[in-house]
Amino acid sequence: MRQEILHTKFYRYYGRYILSNSTAIESNEMLDLMITTPQLMLDTLNVVKETPKGVWVSYDKSIIPNIPIRQRCKFILHTSKTKYAYDTKEKALNAFKMKKYRQIQILSKQLDNTKLMLQLVVKTIDEESECVKVKVQ
């Protein structure tokens, strides 16, 4: 008995950054000053096969022409909390939004930790320089 495919397309949002100006990069300082424009991108994946546990999806062959279908396919488990792609654009966009919120949380914590470590380094340098001053006098 052949199972009916419920969805023929799955969707995945991702972000990318495009350089706003096309001037040549002359140094690392210029790279830091370059303006980038974020773009929200949408991939549409085709359902290749549906199983009781999930679906196999694949990018269009025209997007990735020289790669065999087995390497272009991804399996998406129905019961997974987070998925590679979703059956509606709304679900895919919401998942992308949640990924970005989580990324902000992680990066904010890393920034806080880096600031604390820098304060510790500065404090240690100040204490060592005080010790040197005391020994010299």
Beta-ladder partners of 44: 11
| Structural domain total, the chain | 1
Give Cα separations from 58 to 43, 47, 62, 70, 105 (angstroms). Answer: 10, 6, 11, 9, 31
| Overall pTM > 0.75 | no
Task: Give CA–CA dist 110/105, Å, rounded.
Answer: 9
Whether 1 is in a domain gets the answer: no
Whether 106 is in a domain gets the answer: yes
63-117: per-residue pLDDT in tens? 566 666 666 788 999 999 889 999 999 999 999 999 999 999 999 999 999 999 9
Strand, helix or coil for residue 112: helix
Whether 83 is in a domain gets the answer: yes
What is the reported pLDDT for 62? 57
For 89, the domain range is: 9-136
Whether 2 is in a domain gets the answer: no
13-65: per-residue pLDDT in tens? 999 888 766 555 555 555 566 677 889 999 999 998 899 999 999 887 655 66
Q: Cβ contacts of residue 116 below 8 Å, gap of 6+?
A: none
